[in-house]
Amino acid sequence: MPFITLKHVKNFACRSVDLEIRDKEFLVLLGPNGSGKTTLLNAIAGHVEYQGNILFDEISIDRTPASKRGVGYLFQNLALFPHLDIAANIAYSLKVKKWSQQKIRERVGELLELVNIKHLASRYPANLSGGEKQRVALARALAASPEVLLLDEPMSSLDEQTSKYLRTELKRLQRRLGVTTIYVTHDLMEAVNIADRMAIVLEGMIEQVDEPEKMLFFPCNERVSDFIGAPNILDCDYCKSTAQGLMEVGCGELKLVVPHDGDTIHKIAILPRHVHVSGDKPRGPMANSFMAKVTDIMPRNDMVRLRIEVSDKEMVAEIPYHFYEQLDLAIGKEIYVIVRARKIRVFEYKNLSADKTGVE
Amino acid sequence: MKFLKAIRPGWGLLPVAIFLALWEIIARIDILPGNLLLPPFSEVVAEFYRLSMNGVLGENLLSSLIRVLIGFCAGSIAGVVTGTVMGWNRVADRAFNPLISLFYPIPILGWIPLLMLWIGINEMLPITLIFICSFFPVLYNTITGIKNVDKDYIRAARSLGASDMKVLTTVVIPLALPNIFTGFRLEAGMAWRVIIAAEMVAIPTGIGALLMKAESLIRIDIIIVCLIVLAIMCLISEKFFAYLENRITARWSQHAVHNP
């Protein structure tokens, strides 16, 4: 049974959105900037007007004001109150609900511990780092134990390392607390790494709702396919640590070095635009550089997609049209491909390595 | 009082000392005829002491101070309340904005003839003038402060369960305080300038009235004493609000230093 149901929701940015979000699910709304993701989130939170119906647990909340919808909202800019210290920020919703001082103190202590920021209780938001602010905002959103947590691009202002770490923690917390979560992002790999299911939002409409892997392998139409860029997904046969923070993964005959210091890697994904092509042999060590053969050329607007054969694998590279002309490529021509280690995304969750027999 | 530290002059005292020394010398070497138009600084200090001791200065200063305090407090409270309503409520803003825009540009001293006829020459005249003088700038600063509060803070507070009134009192007004205090700071000094004008024109007591009496007696030393007192009162008023503003907002400003 869905916990949140959107029926024909439309407004200035959304065009008749229908969506069902399951109880305790982690759903990611993925789409380019200006596609209506945040507006949809604001409609669920009650911050913008809309037509249609939104139901929580089959009860309409269309006439319920934002203050009574019982959602935790983590804004893109976090919106921590600058005039309140961290403990007071977290306690805000509890004070509004008139909890006793004793209960507030206990709950704030619990939350500070939950997100590992107990030492920051008396500081002000201006004195925190981006990652610390993120944790405070999360603790504040969770303070009143909301049934729904809405997160609007919460990692957008963080560096890759911090963002990756916090994503993992967020996922862990979400599972532990069992709160139905909707997470907005424009980053495909961020979505793939965190979502139970993903919903692709393009021009105010939901194009596809599916599990990440299904979405990557089976985009429902050309618009979705164009947006996600159908990444190259390679199964890994083995992985071993080579240096601090680096792992070597073997995908058939291909050996790649990826920045990773977590669990075993089951798959890696490389977006076509991150597969760089060169007519000349790259200088320096050949790490993540391979010889390849062009097997197909597919022009698309101002880009050209190349299907290439690399060892025993087939991959897709995407290059600008003018660069394609410079390279003077033809089917059967041999080229060099270079994959930048930082652009390789890794899948370490076991569920992503499950067979795909369920995919229609 | 801690705020007095804020006006501790330090090196700023040096130019003042040089200026006073030059003044004393020029007056003493008698460039100007007699001591009539420019009495030496030492004589001004002596007069200041004499007026302080016989109570004339204190009495007149107190009269002006009471008027400034009553007018300024009433004008500021009215400005903050009206500004909050107009900044928070779009209907109120649309209803009152044309009226406010019409009255705000009127020079404050332009009100004097009208107020003299309406309320007569009494204590209420300078108080009303200061009320008007404080009301409009505080009103505008409050409206700006309230309207400039980031909408995400308001949405965040609502999502956290706060009613409109709670959002206003716990988030919007505190975040508008820097703007509101800017209004207070600017108008605290302005109130002193206005009270002098009102007292010079129409009221027999107060620093302005003392100035007028000194002018009729050609007592330049007393005039200078009054001007110095005024300068000090303006400075103290402005610094007091600057200190309060800093005290309230320093903790949550970008450059705040954390005290563990």
Give the ipTM: 0.77
Q: How far is CA A300 from CA A222, A233, A318, B100, B155, in A?
A: 12, 21, 9, 59, 42
CB pair distance less than 8 Å for A68 and B166: no
Pick from A73, A81, A126: which is nearest to B253 by CB? Answer: A126
Q: What is the signed CA dihedral for A183, A189, A190, A191, rounded to 10 degrees?
A: 20
Instruction: Work out the average pLDDT over A14-20.
Output: 88
Residue A22: φ, ψ to 5° = -75, 160
Selected for mutation to probe chain A from B148, B158, B160, B167 (highest A CB count within 10 Å) is B160
Q: What is the pLDDT of residue B66?
A: 94
Q: What is the pLDDT of residue B58?
A: 93
Q: What is the pLDDT of residue A343?
A: 79
- Residue A190 — pLDDT band, cuts 50, 70, 90? confident
Q: What is the pLDDT of residue A355?
A: 33
Which residue is closest to A69 within chain B, CA to CA? B159
Pick from B153, B170, B258: which is nearest to A79 by CB? Answer: B153
Which residue is closest to A140 within chain B, CA to CA? B160
How many Å apart are CA A132 and CA A124, to the nearest integer? 11
CB pair distance less than 8 Å for B254 and A81: no
Alpha helices in chain B (DSSP H): 13-28, 41-53, 56-88, 90-103, 111-119, 124-147, 151-159, 164-167, 173-201, 207-216, 220-249
Q: Which residue has the higher pLDDT, A242 or B149?
A: B149
- A93 CB neighbours in chain B (<8 A) are 160-162
Which residue is closest to B151 within chain A, CA to CA? A79
How many Å apart are CA A142 and CA A135, to the nearest integer? 11
Q: Which residue has the higher pLDDT, B31 or A210?
A: A210
Task: Provide the whole-model pTM.
Answer: 0.74
Instruction: Work out the average pLDDT over B2-27.
Output: 76
CB pair distance less than 8 Å for B258 and A123: yes
Selected for mutation to probe chain A from B159, B167, B168, B169 (highest A CB count within 10 Å) is B159
- Residue B257 — pLDDT band, cuts 50, 70, 90? very low
Q: What is the pLDDT of residue B35?
A: 56
Selected for mutation to probe chain B from A92, A98, A120 (highest B CB count within 10 Å) is A92
Q: Which residue has the higher pLDDT, A185 or B34?
A: A185
The pLDDT tens digits for B234-248 are 989 988 988 888 887
CA distance A208 to chain B (A): 28
CB pair distance less than 8 Å for A77 and B152: yes
Instruction: Work out the average pLDDT over A232-251.
Output: 84
Scan for tokens 């893109």, then name that residue. Answer: A76
Q: What is the pLDDT of residue A93?
A: 94
CA distance A144 to chain B (A): 8
The pLDDT tens digits for A246-301 are 888 888 888 888 888 777 888 888 888 888 898 888 887 778 888 999 999 988 77
The pLDDT tens digits for B132-172 are 999 999 999 999 999 999 999 999 999 999 999 999 999 99
Query: Do B194 and B108 contact (CB within 8 A), yes or no?
Result: yes
The pLDDT tens digits for A89-130 are 999 999 999 999 999 999 999 999 888 888 999 899 988 988
Scan for tokens 């920021």, then name that residue. Answer: A117
Evaluate if residue A302 carries a pLDDT over 80. no
CB pair distance less than 8 Å for B254 and A126: yes
- A143 CB neighbours in chain B (<8 A) are 160
Residues contacting residue A15 through CB under 8 Å, at least 6 positions apart: A36, A203, A204, A205
CA distance A149 to chain B (A): 11
Which residue is closest to A84 within chain B, CA to CA? B252
The residue type found at B88 is: W
- A123 CB neighbours in chain B (<8 A) are 258
How many Å apart are CA B131 and CA A189, to the nearest integer? 61
Evaluate if residue A149 carries a pLDDT over 90. yes
Which residue is closest to B253 within chain A, CA to CA? A126
Q: What is the pLDDT of residue A168?
A: 84
